[in-house]
Structure 1
Amino acid sequence: MKPTLPATLLHTLAPWRNAPAWHIAFSGGLDSTVLLHLLVSLAKIENLPPVSAVHVHHGLQVAADAWPAHCQSVCDSLGVPLRVMRVQVRPGASLERAARDARYQAFMQIMGAGEVLFTGQHRDDQAETLLFRLLRGAGVRGLAAMPEHRPLAQGRLVRPLLAFSRSELEAYAHQHQLQWIEDPSNVDSRFSRNYLRHRVLPTVTERWPQAITHLARTAEHMAEAQGLLDELALMDLQRADQPSAFPWLPLPSLALAPLRERSDARQRNALRHWLTPLTRLPDSDHWAGWYALRDAKNDAQPVWRLADGQLHRSGERIWWLPSSWSEFSHAPVSWPDAQNPLELPGNGQLRFAGKAPSGVLVIRYRQGGEVIEVPGRGHRDLKRLLNESGLPGFVRGRLPLVYRGEQLLAVPTLAGSWASSMDHGQLHWLPQTCDQGLS
């Protein structure tokens, strides 16, 4: 005999039963209404974390103005606290995606450490997602469709109903006489998912009745395949994750040589894994920028521009620069008391280790042609010294230079490449960290 819906759900929830709190994304529709009722029913016979609901009001249609009151009524009848969050949906090419982004931004605001947010997507939604992404030419990761769980803010997002069909949820709702909202936009076939749901899948299932189950199973196979690709990527990235000559530079980077030893496909797989937390990636037809960067001559400084930043190459190393890296002021900064550290606007902190120079100092940035006195070597061109150090070109424009009057007095010590003048201490620069917005 097939297990009941509550029994199967309880088994699915087992990994999350020690969470501090459970939240339910409650739209008031069929899926989330059934999920809320199930969890409240299970909580009466099982020791579960405290349950609350959150309703996100997008304000995209007049009918939606009545939904918070409906959700409040349902939650009151079940004894569940409800939080209503109103969001602004940014206009864009895809209204569906913009609404989803706004919704998940709201969910992230309520998540405490270790807490779980449950959403009500079911097997039919999974089949639609797979088909939608297949038609857009997605790769293995995209065809894995919606994961059963993933990180969200400080906690986890969990989809506990993926094993159930919409018809099973409808049967449960009718059995328990549940009332839910029917979103008028769900029948608008101008939206791609609705077109698949109402026009394509009914035709497919008429010929192949088990199509939705099989599509969902394919998504599971793709998720497993993606897991193997991730394991392979981690193996390749471990070889490339060699220490940089500039450990103080807080930017993700990899050694290029170990990547070159791999096939093009394995290179792309490793880079996708590495870059996914950092930026949106191009499709498989737009990787020419990577090959140009990889194959450039050693003295070149090629750049691969991506959606949320840039991949730079310096010598035999690649560096990720988020878009915010360039967001700092080149304006001179006065340093009246060099005994104390100096915060540079958008560019980290500067300090002297040991004796600081006397007088009022000014921080400026490179214009070209700078010369500095190096103990034992006399006056040296700064550009040549930087070339000797191997400092990546994208850092040089941010390098703070200490002047007293018109004299270039000090440059941050770069891994001991050269010493400062003996009449003052070493100048140290701690660039902006990833926690401060570089990642």
Structure 2
Amino acid sequence: MLNLNKKHRYLLGCSYGPDSMALFAMLKNEGYIFEVAHVNYNLRKESTLEEENLKAYCANEKVEFHHLKVLEPFKGKNIEKACRDIRYTFFKKIIKKRQLDGLLVGHHQDDLIETYLMQIRRRNLVTYFGIREKTIINNIRVIRPLLTFSKEELVEYCHAHNVPYAIDKSNLTEQYLRNRIRHQIVAQLTPQQREKYLTEIRDKNQNLEAMFAKIKREKYETNKAILRLKEDEFLYALVFKGRKLKPDFKLSKKQGLEVRKIPASKKANVAV
């Protein structure tokens, strides 16, 4: 069911939600060697109980358990980014100390489609649509083995194999854009509609790959050379060059077109 290397030793980032717990059970049932890492952000009253339940489950399954409890408040911070930074710093420390071969996370097909729909709505120029199966984050190898599974399939797997899990109630609110997309669009998709989106994502990524290959091959090093590109190629050439300098470089189509106007302008570019 999982396409992983059984000679490798992995770290599973586990929230105790149905996605990561289904992955826990699959890894165990299929004989993979792995350890578990859990971060308690102390943002919900249920979080301590969930941490204790996961610790007990790991002990019962004879799986090494690593945990971090965040005590410092998140006041005045982007909580989502702060949590992400904390957990990946923690994961990296464990992987290095335990000499593990990579991090496994429970992103699934619904997450992939949600991410794609958010990318389309935000109109930022991206270097990949949806979510990559394998990537590098914070200098650690990250693998997402569940991208072919829907959320519903993972919940069903937990029920069929008596796997415990908890639901983060903050994911049920429609206050945030991702949650609205999740509940109002992705959860309502038919199998045919899902496949349509997945095909769309594959096609767009193939087009991006071809475009980046051309940009890399032609080596558009000067501004004049870049300006000779077609509009889409020009915009992605900017992103390609920007990502070389800053991995999280972002650019909207509107911003890119404003940049293209600059060389043609007779005004001094004092604001650039």
* Category of TM-score, reference length = shorter chain: 0.7 to 0.9
Partner amino acid, structure 2, of 1:284: K
1:37 aligns with 2:31: no
Q: Which has the larger radius of gyration?
A: 1
Using structure 1 for the length normalisation, give the TM-score. Answer: 0.54
RMSD: 3.0
Residue equivalent to 1:106: 90
1:186 aligns with 2:171: yes
Residue equivalent to 1:227: 209
Partner amino acid, structure 2, of 1:212: R
1:130 aligns with 2:116: yes
Q: SS of 1:53's equivalent?
A: strand
1:284 aligns with 2:266: no
Residue equivalent to 2:12: 24
- Given the superposition, is the C-alpha separation of residues 283 and 98 from structure 1 closer, same or farther in structure 2, using an over 3 Å criterion? farther
Partner amino acid, structure 2, of 1:137: R
Partner amino acid, structure 1, of 2:50: W
Q: Greater RCO between the two (CA within 8 Å, min separation 6)?
A: 2
1:265 aligns with 2:209: no
- Given the superposition, is the C-alpha separation of residues 18 and 196 from structure 1 closer, same or farther in structure 2, using an over 3 Å criterion? same
Partner amino acid, structure 1, of 2:254: D
Instruction: Note the alpha carbon deviations across 1:162-196, whole angstroms, 9 max, x for none.
Output: 01112222222122111111112121121222222
- 8 Å contact kept, 2:211–2:233: no
Instruction: Note the alpha carbon deviations across 1:251-304, whole angstroms, 9 max, x for none.
Output: xxxx4343344334323222211212433222111135633554578xx99577
**Displacement, 1:22?**
0.7
Residue equivalent to 1:57: 40
Instruction: Note the alpha carbon deviations across 1:228-267, whole angstroms, 9 max, x for none.
Output: 222122123x352xxxxxxxxxxxxxx4343344334323
Partner amino acid, structure 1, of 2:17: G
**Displacement, 1:17?**
4.5
1:170 aligns with 2:155: yes
- 8 Å contact kept, 1:52–1:82: yes
Q: SS of 1:56's equivalent?
A: strand
More strand by share: 1
Residue equivalent to 2:184: 199
Instruction: Note the alpha carbon deviations across 1:302-346, whole angstroms, 9 max, x for none.
Output: 5775xxxxxxxxxxxxxxxxxxxxxxxxxxxxxxxxxxxxxxxxx
**Displacement, 1:29?**
0.8
> C-alpha separation between the residues in 1 aligned to 2:153 and 2:255?
42
**Displacement, 1:216?**
3.2
- Given the superposition, is the C-alpha separation of residues 197 and 92 from structure 1 closer, same or farther in structure 2, using an over 3 Å criterion? farther
1:115 aligns with 2:66: no
- Given the superposition, is the C-alpha separation of residues 261 and 214 from structure 1 closer, same or farther in structure 2, using an over 3 Å criterion? closer
> C-alpha separation between the residues in 2 aligned to 1:89 and 1:304?
37
Using structure 2 for the length normalisation, give the TM-score. Answer: 0.83
- Given the superposition, is the C-alpha separation of residues 80 and 146 from structure 1 closer, same or farther in structure 2, using an over 3 Å criterion? same
Residue equivalent to 1:395: none
Q: List runs of 5+ in structure 1 lacking aligned partners.
A: 1-7, 241-254, 306-439
Q: Sequence identity, in percent?
A: 22
- Given the superposition, is the C-alpha separation of residues 234 and 111 from structure 1 closer, same or farther in structure 2, using an over 3 Å criterion? farther
Q: SS of 1:210's equivalent?
A: helix
> C-alpha separation between the residues in 2 aligned to 1:289 and 1:137?
15
**Displacement, 1:73?**
1.1
> C-alpha separation between the residues in 1 aligned to 2:258 and 2:124?
20
